[in-house]
């Protein structure tokens, strides 16, 4: 039995701010349990709902010297859907209303957490073959495994993997601060280790010292070797290219299933969507106060409203787009300029644009089910989950060819009867508008072709099981090294 420990800063269903939580919480249950014992460790945040916290079982506690003080480390456990979750407890560090607060406090919190996570393993008696770390918050662990934890017999043969979910976030501060928080000697703060551009960089340390590096799509793994996407670490990514691989994220096919989804008005599947899917559109039009017309081309956007998501492209051409016979439904929150932009156009085109500046899991399911097309014109997108949900619901993605969007959406080819969506390559507003109008033309004038695109989209399998197989191969390779 191969033992794997996921160490992350968040995991569904306990706490979630982004796709990282889906990977840490959903992926472990998809491994072959005959051969893999996969467990998960996250902090016990005070912001985890009481219904979860009250069900956790106390295992043990100890005190750990950190920054000149003896700090409490509690260990709790909860088994969810057959997977053992461990929780590191320290109310001084994990007491906020959100998992992440300000940068400086987060750096100290996650340096403490990384050290506590490793120190807890002998206490709970779980000796993993591989520790799988996620993003900068746990990037100190591969360094510690090669440093002060290396001499102990318990840790000596452990391998580490780090998954980069978004290279933009690295855990950077001045060298003196990072050295103090990590308690590492001067030796580690050179340009080939934890120093980058005269600052200390936690993610860089994880990338340098991990036995294997993954990121969340093949294309993103290639992109981050280039300066534009590499966020200052492209040279390091090229140097470690032999240890780097892309493994696509997946989605939970039980949770995202138009055939049984309790949040949508009319369930449907790949066989009956031609008759039933449109009923979700008219229901959403009625709920949002849009003109009720099942034949109107409805485009959905469910997103964080930030520059990364390509919203400046939409800003350039939204007036032009609204001259067409379309409807645009937006759901999400983010930067104030984009929130206000969508509010403005919802006021200007009341029968065409619906701006829902909040987030609701229930409403997101309604948008995936109701819309004809789903727009994701991202500047960069390590993996992206929304396009996978759109494919699952037969809502045709319109995406920019970057990262996971390029890997998961095959562009429509009218001559070869291929494709599961529409895509454009240059980060250009009118190129995007052109492809939206091309999709609109297929929808309006070639409905049979459009339905075949949906057939192919709904036949795709981007469930976690596919990802789990590739991670199993990686763990087998690492353990055999």
pLDDT at 152 over 90: no
Distance CA 413, CA 420 (A): 9
Tell me the sheet residues that pair with 255.
none
Beta-strand pair 36-43/69-80: unpaired
pLDDT at 155 over 70: yes
| pTM reported for the whole predicted model | 0.93
pLDDT at 165 over 90: yes
- For 366-396, what is each residue's pLDDT tens digit? 999 999 999 999 999 999 999 999 999 999 9
Q: Phi and psi for 113 in degrees, rounded to 5?
A: -60, -45
Name the pLDDT band for 19 (thresholds 50, 70, 90): confident
Distance CA 324, CA 471 (A): 45
For domain 273-461, is the CATH number 3.30.420.280?
no
The answer to whether 248 and 404 are in contact (CB under 8 A) is yes
- For 462-474, what is each residue's pLDDT tens digit? 999 999 999 999 9
- For 55-73, what is each residue's pLDDT tens digit? 999 999 999 999 999 999 9
| From-to residues of CATH 3.40.50.2000 in the chain | 2-250+465-480, 273-461
The answer to whether 165 and 231 are in contact (CB under 8 A) is no
pLDDT at 481 over 80: no
Distance CA 257, CA 365 (A): 10
Name the pLDDT band for 153 (thresholds 50, 70, 90): confident
- For 237-273, what is each residue's pLDDT tens digit? 999 999 999 999 999 898 999 999 999 999 999 999 9
Count of CA atoms in the C-beta half-sphere (13 A) of 97: 0
Mean per-residue pLDDT, 324-337: 97
Who has greater pLDDT, 359 or 423?
Answer: 423
Provide the percentage of residues in the chain whose pLDDT is more than 70. Answer: 100
CATH architecture for residues 2-250+465-480: 3-Layer(aba) Sandwich (3.40)
* pLDDT at position 222: 97
Mean per-residue pLDDT, 15-24: 90
**Shortest CA distance to 39 belongs to which of 88, 73, 9, 5?**
5
DSSP label at residue 242: G
- For 197-230, what is each residue's pLDDT tens digit? 999 999 999 999 999 999 999 999 999 999 999 9
The answer to whether 50 and 163 are in contact (CB under 8 A) is no
Name the pLDDT band for 148 (thresholds 50, 70, 90): confident
Mean per-residue pLDDT, 412-436: 97
- Sheet of strand 326-331: strand arrangement: 353-356, 326-331, 297-302, 373-376, 396-400, 422-424
* pLDDT at position 96: 87
Helix (H) or strand (E) holding 286: helix 273-288
* pLDDT at position 170: 97
Chain centre distance of CA 115: 25
């Amino acid at each position: 039995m191969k033992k794997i420990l996921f160490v992350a800063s968040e995991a569904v269903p306990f706490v979630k701010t982004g796709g990282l939580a889906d990977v840490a919480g959903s992926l472990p249950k998809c491994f072959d349990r005959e051969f893999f014992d996969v467990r998960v460790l996250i902090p016990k945040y005070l912001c985890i709902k009481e219904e979860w916290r009250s069900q956790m079982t106390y295992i043990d506690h100890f005190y750990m010297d950190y920054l000149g003080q003896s700090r409490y480390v509690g260990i709790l456990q909860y088994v969810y859907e057959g997977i053992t979750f461990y929780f590191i407890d320290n109310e001084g560090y994990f007491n906020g209303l959100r998992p992440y607060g300000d940068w400086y406090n987060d750096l100290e919190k996650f340096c403490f957490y990384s050290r506590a996570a490793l120190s807890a393993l002998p206490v709970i008696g779980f000796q993993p073959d591989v520790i799988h770390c996620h993003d900068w918050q746990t990037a100190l662990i591969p360094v510690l495994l090669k440093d002060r934890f290396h001499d102990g017999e318990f840790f000596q043969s452990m391998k580490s993997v780090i998954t980069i979910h978004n290279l933009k976030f690295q855990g950077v501060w001045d060298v003196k601060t990072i050295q103090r928080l990590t308690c590492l000697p001067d030796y580690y703060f050179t340009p080939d280790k934890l120093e980058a551009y005269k600052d200390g960089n936690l993610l860089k340390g994880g990338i340098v010292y991990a036995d294997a590096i993954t990121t969340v799509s093949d294309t993103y793994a290639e992109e981050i070797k280039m300066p534009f996407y590499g966020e200052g670490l492209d040279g390091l990514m090229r140097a470690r290219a032999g240890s780097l691989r892309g493994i696509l994220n997946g989605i939970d096919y039980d949770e995202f299933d138009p055939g049984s989804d309790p949040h949508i008005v009319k369930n449907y599947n790949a066989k009956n969507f031609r008759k039933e899917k449109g009923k979700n559109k008219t229901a959403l039009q009625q709920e949002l106060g849009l003109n009720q017309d099942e034949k109107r081309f409805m485009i959905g956007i469910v997103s964080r409203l930030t520059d990364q998501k390509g919203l400046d492209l939409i800003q350039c051409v939204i007036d032009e787009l609204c001259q067409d016979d379309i409807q645009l439904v937006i759901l999400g929150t983010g930067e104030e300029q984009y929130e206000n932009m969508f509010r403005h156009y919802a006021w200007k085109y009341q029968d065409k644009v619906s701006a829902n500046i909040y987030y609701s899991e229930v409403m997101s399911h309604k948008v995936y089910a109701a819309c004809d097309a789903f727009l994701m014109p991202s500047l960069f997108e390590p993996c992206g989950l929304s396009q996978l949900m759109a494919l699952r619901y037969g809502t045709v993605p319109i995406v920019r060819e970057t990262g996971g969007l390029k890997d998961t959406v095959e562009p429509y080819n009218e001559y070869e009867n291929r494709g599961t969506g529409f895509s454009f390559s240059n980060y250009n507003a009118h190129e995007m508008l052109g492809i939206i109008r091309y999709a609109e033309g297929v929808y309006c004038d070639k409905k049979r072709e459009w339905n075949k695109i949906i057939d192919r989209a709904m036949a795709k399998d981007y469930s976690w099981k596919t990802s789990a197989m590739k991670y199993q191969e990686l763990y087998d390779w690492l353990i055999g090294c």
